[in-house]
Amino acid sequence: MENKKNVIVHISNISPEVMEALHEKYPDGYQDHIFKVTKPNKDFFYAVTVDTKDTSYLIKVDVRIDTATTEKIDEQLFSNIDSIEPEIKPTDEDEEPKKKKSEDDDLF
10 beta partners? 60
- Per-domain boundaries in the chain: 5-61
pLDDT value of position 13: 95
| pLDDT (mean) for 76-98 | 62
Question: What's the residue count for the chain?
Answer: 108
Q: How confident is the model at residue 102 (pLDDT cuts 50, 70, 90)?
A: low
pLDDT in tens, 27-57: 999 989 999 999 999 999 999 999 999 999 9
Asked if 57 and 85 count as a contact pair (C-beta separation under 8 A), the reply is: no
Asked if 62 and 13 count as a contact pair (C-beta separation under 8 A), the reply is: no
- Specify the pTM: 0.58
Q: In 3D, which of 47, 51, 56 has the Cα closest to residue 10?
A: 47
